[in-house]
Structures are given as C-alpha cells and as structure tokens.
A and B are shown apart, each in its own frame.
Chain A
Amino acid sequence: MNKKAMLYDSTRCTACRGCQVACKQWNDREGIQYSKTRNTGSYQNPPALSPQTWTFISFQEHQNNGNFEWLFLKRGCFHCHNAACVEVCPTRALKHDPVTDIVTFEPELCNGCGYCSQFCPFHIPKLESNVVTGEGKSSKCNFCQDRTSNGGLPACVQTCTAGALSYGDWDDMVALGQARVEAAKARFPNANLYGASILGGLGQLYVLAEAPSVYGLPENPTYEVARIWQEIVQPVAGISFGVGLLGVAIAWIIARRNIRMEEVE
C-alpha cells in the first residue's frame, strides 16, 4: 500500500475558489443558478457542502489582536484511515482504495440509506433522496480517483494557484505540513498540523492558522456508536437468531420424544 494524502495550507490559501470550480467541472457537479443565490452576509459561496458541492472554501471572520482577518478552510471529505462511513455502509459503495487508502465512492452500489451522512463525525457525505420512498444517492469527494489512479493530481490540486494544495505520499505530506507549520509560526503563533494523528491518520491534512476548535473542527473525533452498532449489536443479533432457532429445534425434538399424543386429554 502506498497511502496518499492531500495537504491544504490555510496560511497560503487566497480563497480564489479555483478549487471549487475545478471540482465541479471535472466531476460534472451542477453550480447554483444565479436566481437561487442569496447574499448571506458572507463571501462564502456556496454556503455548505451538498450533493453537488464536494468542496468549498469557508470564510470565517476572526479577530487577531484587534485586527479583522478571514480564516479560510477548504472543506470536504477527510478520507479517514478509520472511517465511520466505510464501517456503516451496508452496500460497500464506500470503501478504501486498496492502493491509496482513499475513501472511494461508487454511486451504482449506493442504495441511498444515508447512514454515512449520519455517522460521519465530520458530517461530510450528503444525501439526496426522496423523503417518502427513500430513493436517492449519497455523494462526496473521492480525491478524483479517476485522475489519481492514472497518475494525475486531483482537479483542485491541479488548479490551485496559491500553492496551498499538495497531493502525494502520506508521509511526505505530513513532513511537508510540519515544515509549513514551522514557517507559518512567525505570522500565526497558533499554527498547527491537523489530521496526522486523528482516526488513524486523515487523508486530508490541514495546516491551520488557529486551533482546530476555532474552525469548528473536532480535536479528537471518534465514532463509538457506529462501532458498537457494527461490531457488537449486528453480530449479536445474527447470533441470537441462530441460537433461538437452534434452541427451539432442540426443544421440539425433546417434546416430540416425550409427548405421546394418545395420552393427552
């Protein structure tokens, strides 16, 4: 295995949003129509992840020693090594790429149950489905699997003009991120590398200018409930049905041997 990662350096990002456009273009995602765009008092646009928006730059207003500044962050799938979505997905539509360890998504296998969207500790996968029938699909970033498996770069990395995005071997990206953190410390004393030691090592690493909590990122995300469900409740259920059937079969054999109907009133 040759584990891959993307590094996003928020201290280099200029929020040009070229990555958003490149992602939509390469992955055939629809944009929001002019008529549906609303001013929400922020430059952030689109406002959130959606089935059509796999990545976007969030604009956070922040004060640093009384001076206003924006904190930018490229939002999208973290490609966790220990991934809650892969654990709960009943269809294997979500699984790890055996070579790159990226969490890939196959829409043909997805049945639209949406467990991924509910169990992801980062709330990344987005479900688009009919509320009544449940028919629909989930979707999320796959690091442009069609490009990377052919030796290319993800579309967002390819297009990044500010040099904020890099893609490569996981170890190299961690080393690069640590170097970037050191370089950024002069301007951002709270700079840190996010993701190297979370959930077995995230595939999406961040160089953050401030503490993760400032960005609303969990310091140490876990997915205990998903694990209890998949590793305890479901196997116990299956075993209990087997034990129940076996017990009843044994009781039936004992009863058949001992009960003589002609003696029954």
Chain B
Amino acid sequence: MSLKLKDSGSMITIRWIPRYDGMERFLHWAHTAAFFPLVITGMVLFIPFLAPLAQGEAGQLIRLIHRIAAVFFIAVPILYALFRPRRLLNTLRDLRFSRYDIEWVKAAVPYYLLGKHRDMPPQGRFNTGEKLNVIVLVTGTIVFSITGLVMWFGKGIVPPELFRAMVIIHDLAMIATVNMFIIHFYLAVAHPLMWQSLVSMRFGMISESYAREHHSAWYYGEERARKLYEERKKAAASEAGGHGG
C-alpha cells in the first residue's frame, strides 16, 4: 500500500504481511462477543451495587443470558478446532517459551511505558505478552467450560463438595481472565504505539516494519533473527564501552 503525503512529493510505502486468517479473526471476535455478556452478567455476584439485578425475574433473565452466551463461548473454539486443527496446533506450538522471553519483558517495560525503542529480542509469531495472554485465555476458556457445564447440568447430581469446588474455580478463572482482558484491551486498543494490533485483527495484516521489529524470529526465521540480534547487541555494547572509556 502506498500513500502520498499531503504538501510533499514523498511517498510512504507500507508492505503488509498476512498474520491472521479469516477463521482466526472469526474466533477472536466471536469469542469476544460471547465473553462480554458473560462477564457483565457474572458481575452481579461481584459488584455490590449490581446485586439487585440478581433478584427474582431479573436474576432469572441474567442467568439465562449467561447460559446462552456460554453456548457460543464453548462452541466457537470447538468449531475453530474442527475447521483449522493444524493451524491450532501450530499456534499452540508457537506458545512455547524461550530464553528471550525474559529479555523481552525487560525491554517491554521501557518500550510500552516510555516509548523507548531498545532492541527487541527475537520473537516468533507471538511475543511474550501475547503468549501469556493466549495461555491465560485458552486455559481460562477450558476451565470456564468444564466448571460451568458441571454447575449447569450437574447441580444435584454431582456431590455438593464437587459443585462447591467448581464455583470457586470458576471464580478464580474469572479473576485471571478479566484482569488479563483489561491488560489486553489496553495494549491492543488504547496504547498509542499499538495501533496496528486492531488493524491486524480486523484485516489480518501487519506492516513489514512492525513484523521486523516485534516478530523478527517469525519474519527472518529463528536462526537469522538470533544472529542479527546478537550482532546488534554486541555492537551496542562496544559502543557503550567506547563512550565509557
């Protein structure tokens, strides 16, 4: 994609690289659409001033909405797994951690808070933060589904001790996923540097320059990305050493 800057002759050219396919984007947005009503209806148990909504007819309606949304929340990932089993496996394989993840966390704090571009350690299709987000939300979805189904269909059938454990675990999953969602929403939608993330989830593309900086192991391949990174690090160290001397 090229565009001409106003009042100037220069052109900006952005090369776009496909990152998410259509099914992935469908999974993301359909799951988001199911997650919202689930969280909102669940909040009547957590936020005291919403408590009256849990009472009587309103409470029954809220429980019904929670269940309808839960059907989609469970069905959408299953559909995705059925239609894209190999891509799902590849994605799960991309979630493995490497020694560069700790370095990424160190570089991420000044980058996301202060906008300081330090050399980003090589990252695959998902960086450390994205990996954490996916791990928490995928685990959370599985935990929500199992505990929720037991509470839905097992009430009075399973031992009460098991039901009680399910209630507690469902709530712990809620704490983990909602807080992760708050961070995810901030970084993906509100953060000034991250405007490309919404674009990529909408159109499936990210720019070449972004891929090169943030997902170099994916862009260059693991070996080359590592070599480039180590070279840059060495150069930066000798430069800093030169200044010191």
Interface residues of A in 193-223 (CB under 8 A from B): none
Instruction: Return chain A residues, CB-CB under 8 Å to B48.
Output: 238
Residues of chain B from 138 to 194 with CB closer than 8 A to chain A in the complex? 152-153, 155-156, 160-161, 163-165, 167-168, 171-172, 174-175, 178-179, 182-183, 185-186, 190-193
Is B164 in contact with A259, judged by CB distance below 8 angstroms?
no
> Least Cβ distance of B115 to chain A in Å?
3
A251 to B113 CA separation, bound complex (whole angstroms)? 6
Contact status A111-B178, CB under 8 Å: no
- Beyond A91-B56, A92-B55, A233-B168, is A238–B182 a contact (Cβ under 8 Å)? no
The stretch among B27-35, B58-66, B97-105, B221-229 that forms the contact with chain A is B58-66
The reply to whether A238 and B115 form a contact with Cβ atoms under 8 Å apart is no
Q: Which residue of B lies closest to A246 (CB)?
A: B182
On chain A, the residues within 8 Å of B57 by CB distance are 111
Indicate whether A236 sits within 8 Å of B175 (C-beta atoms), given known contacts A111-B60, A252-B190. yes
Residues of A within 8 Å of B55, CB to CB, are 91-93, 109, 111
Quick check: is A114 within 8 A (CB to CB) of the other chain?
A: yes
Distance, CA A91 to CA B153, complexed state (A): 22
Are B160 and A240 in contact, with the CB atoms below 8 A? no
From B44, B56, B190, residue with most partner A Cβ within 10 Å: B56
**Known contacts A111-B60, A114-B155, A225-B165; is-contact A240 B175 (Cβ 8 Å):** yes
Interface size on A, residues (CB 8 A): 48
Query: Interface range on chain B: under 10, 10 to 19, 20 to 34, or 35 or more?
Result: 35 or more
How far, in angstroms, from A264 to B210 measured CA to CA in the complex? 11
Kindly identify which residue among B67, B115, B185 contacts A264, using a CB–CB cutoff of 8 Å.
B115
Chain A residue with Cβ nearest B42: A237
A40 at the binding interface (Cβ < 8 Å): no
Return chain A residues, CB-CB under 8 Å to B3.
Answer: none
Given A229-B171, A234-B46: A134 and B164 within 8 A (CB)? no
Q: Tell whether B54 is near chain A: CB-to-CB under 8 Å.
A: yes
Beta-carbon contact of B179 and A244 below 8 Å: yes
A118 CA / B170 CA spacing, docked (Å): 15
Q: Are B115 and A258 in contact (CB under 8 A)?
A: yes
Known A-B contacts A114-B155, A134-B63, A241-B46; the reply to A259 vs B192 at CB < 8 A is: yes
**With A and B bound together, what is the CA distance between A108 and B58 in angstroms?**
11
Residue B240 interfacial (CB < 8 Å): no
Please encode chain B, from 98 to 122, with 1 for each CB lying within 8 Å of some chain A CB and 0 for all others: 0000000000000011110100000
Contacts of A110 in B (CB 8 A): 56
Q: Is B51 an interface residue (CB 8 A)?
A: yes
Among A92, A123, A131, A234, which residue has its beta carbon within 8 angstroms of that of B153? A131
The answer, yes or no, to whether A265 is at the interface (CB within 8 Å) is: yes
Check if A1 is an interface residue, CB within 8 A of chain B. Answer: no
Contact of A119 among B152, B160, B183 (CB under 8 A): B160
Residue contact B182 to A255, C-beta cutoff 8 Å:
no
Is the C-beta of B89 less than 8 angstroms from some C-beta in chain A?
no
Contact of B113 with A256 in the complex, beta carbons under 8 Å: no
User: How many Å lie between the Cα of A113 and that of B151 in the bound state?
Assistant: 10
A94-114 CB contact bits vs B (8 Å, 1 = yes)?
000000000000001111111
Measured CB to CB, the nearest residue on chain B to A261 is B192
Q: Which residues of A contact B182 (CB under 8 A)?
A: 241, 244-245, 248
Q: Does A226 contact B (CB under 8 A)?
A: yes
> Bound complex: CA of A83 vs CA of B53, how far in Å?
23
**Is B56 a contact of A111 with CB atoms below 8 Å?**
yes
Q: Please state if A90 and B59 are interface contacts (CB–CB under 8 Å).
A: yes
A38 on the B face (CB < 8 A): no
Cα A254 to Cα B165 in complex, Å, equals 41
Residue of A nearest to B63 (CB): A134
Chain B residues within CB distance 8 Å of chain A: 44-48, 51, 54-60, 62-64, 67, 112-115, 117, 152-153, 155-156, 160-161, 163-165, 167-168, 171-172, 174-175, 178-179, 182-183, 185-186, 190-193, 209, 213
A–B pairs, 12, beta carbons within 8 Å = A113-B59, A114-B155, A118-B164, A237-B46, A237-B175, A238-B48, A241-B46, A254-B114, A255-B192, A255-B193, A258-B113, A259-B192
Closest 9 CB pairs of A and B: A111-B59, A259-B115, A244-B182, A248-B186, A258-B114, A91-B55, A244-B179, A225-B164, A90-B54
Which A residues lie at the B interface, using CB under 8 A? 90-93, 108-115, 117-119, 123, 127, 131-135, 225-226, 228-229, 233-234, 236-238, 240-241, 244-245, 248, 251-252, 254-256, 258-261, 263-265
